[in-house]
Structure 1
């Protein structure tokens, strides 16, 4: 707990860090309490004409089907957050394990893992995701596993690079000399010393995964209607942007503010932990 408090103090030491934490915290809190805050059911259609502008009854107007835009925007980030938070966790866990394993053992194990990573990196991410979703559907668990697998590939490279810097340190060599098992060395000597890099990488992966999930929903491969989702809302209302901008602007503002908040938090976290962002592997 004290470590988490120290990290939070370091992140909020800068103005941009404070803004990022507030934005992310606001969206997480809103996702939890939104079902009790919304004034209407997300699929309720009113008798008022569609595309009606903001009013006292509908603060953000109505969409093409006469549904309350504010209600759907407040609820639109729940599934995206659920999928991407668990997907990011999965990506960091498996990617870190294989990255540390490759960096520590080296040799044929390292070669096998990294050549496998290169093969998957050669596949365009959108084609990969669409192939999996077309084969297994777009249920939340499928999305979590698919996004978690693909975005974990970059974590493998990053964790391996960080491990190669740590594995030559005296405390790792001393653990080897004591005859400690490789798994014990990786868990007790290496992993704690690459933790800071992993934390920053986790935040950035979360941001990228949110964009990917929203892009899939925009293309019709993410959330299934009528469940509200920011990407899907933008897709359904974009052709009416000149006539009625509110059904597009509201989810755009929500999604943009969350991603900006995550990126500001990640930047502040990197500065507070002394992590050089240029050393992180990008996918």
Structure 2
């Protein structure tokens, strides 16, 4: 498979950092996918004494503050965080791509309206917007996914539109117009395929940020509701036991960090391999 004239394998192994990033992200995705089949106990099941230390014969990573298997909750917590972040950002990037490309191509009043909406949203701090939305509409997985999408939509539009603007004056777009292709045909068949690389990098970069937002909300008590496991929530639950049971904070923090670092390494390597370094500077929101 070729992307921008390079094989997928060459892109994924572009640098040691890229390879490490891809491996870390892949491990987390595999865990999220297969966790329900691999966990030794139910993630909400009380199975032992509270705060048993890691290395216990029946509980590899010990138990939490009320006696639930910590390994099971850690594995399932990744499933929740990754689903909310990735689905929310995917929706933002896919819908944002249409508005970005159409704004770049149509221009004029339509472009002005789209960009004024984008600028207005970007003037609001992301974490504040998400927190206010969750307070107003609840903290279910569905609400969190929607608000993550709304939060990252404007930034995605701005970045992808910038790339689309470089494509609009090119000969292949002019040729499509001369052939009498409709506006939607030019947008979907001509322009969109030529911004796919930016879309993919945008998705990876914003997903790493979304993971941190989801975890921060849960830590502050505005994210996933207990007893559903979530990495940020697990850190919050372990704060008061930091001296007696430091692993309650350490393990979820390591999982959050490795996923975010992996996504950053992978997105940086992908951007460099595809020659999109300049596009990184266009990100906002």
Q: TM-score range by the shorter chain?
A: over 0.9
- Residue 223 of structure 1 corresponds to which residue in structure 2? 224
Deviation at 1:198, TM superposition (A): 1.1
Residue-by-residue CA offset, 1:160-199 (whole Å, 9 max, x unaligned): 1111111111111222222221211111221111111111
Q: Which residue of 2 aligns with 1:208?
A: 209
Distance 1:271 1:125 in 2: 27
Give a deviation string over 1:213-241, Cα, whole Å, max 9, x none: 11111111211111111000001111221
Partner Cα separation in structure 2 for residue 73 and residue 47 of structure 1: 16
Paired position in structure 2 for 1:106: 107
Which residue does 1:9 correspond to in 2? 10
Equivalent residue number for residue 281 of structure 1: 283
Question: 3-state DSSP class of the match of 1:77?
Answer: helix
> Structure 1 pair 19/137, CA: closer, same or farther in 2 (3 Å)?
same
Offset at residue 47 of structure 1 (A): 4.5
Would you say 1:37 and 2:35 are equivalent positions? no
How many residue pairs align between the two structures? Answer: 281
Partner of 2:79: 78
Are 1:51 and 1:63, in contact at CA under 8 Å, matched by a contact in 2?
yes
Stretches of 4+ aligned residues off by more than 3 angstroms: 277-280
Q: Deviations over 1:72-122 (max 9, x none)?
A: 111111111111221121011111111111111111111111111111111
Q: Conserved in 1, the CA contact under 8 Å of 2:100 and 2:157?
A: yes
SS class of match (1:76): helix
Whether contact under 8 Å (2:122, 2:284) holds in the other structure is no
- The question of whether the paired residues in 2 share the 8 Å contact of 1:201 and 1:280 is answered with no
Contact 1:214 1:232 in 2 (8 A): yes
Shift of 1:8: 4.0
Does residue 164 of structure 2 align to residue 160 of structure 1? Answer: no
Separation in 2, partners of 1:107, 1:169: 19
RMSD: 1.7
Query: Does residue 1:52 correspond to 2:77, yes or no?
Result: no
CA distance in structure 1 between the aligned counterparts of 2:280 and 2:208, rounded to whole angstroms: 17
Kept in 1: contact 2:85–2:210 (CA 8 A): yes
| 2:261 corresponding residue in structure 1 | 260
In the alignment, the residues of structure 2 paired with residue 126 and residue 21 of structure 1 have an alpha-carbon distance, to the nearest angstrom, of 27
Q: CA deviation at 1:281?
A: 1.7
Task: Quickly say closer, same or farther: Cα 1:151–1:8, change in 2 above 3 A.
Answer: farther
Deviation of the 1:51 alpha carbon: 2.3
1:62 is matched with 63
**Quick one: distance in 1 between partners of 2:168 and 2:275?**
19
Normalising by structure 2, report the TM-score: 0.93
Give distance in 2, aligned partners of 1:61 and 1:224: 22
Query: Normalization by structure 1: what TM-score?
Result: 0.93
**Structure-to-structure mapping, 1:103-182, within 5 angstroms:** 103-182=104-183
Structure 1: distance between partners of 2:87 and 2:180: 36
Higher alpha-carbon deviation: 134-143 or 21-30: 134-143
What CA distance in whole angstroms lies between the structure 2 residues aligned with 1:13 and 1:124? 34
C-alpha distance in 1, partners of 2:94/2:274?
20
- Tell me by how many angstroms 1:46 deviates: 4.0
- The more displaced of 205-214 and 38-47 is 38-47
Of 234-243 and 272-281, deviating more is 272-281
Structure 1 unmatched ranges of 5 or more: none
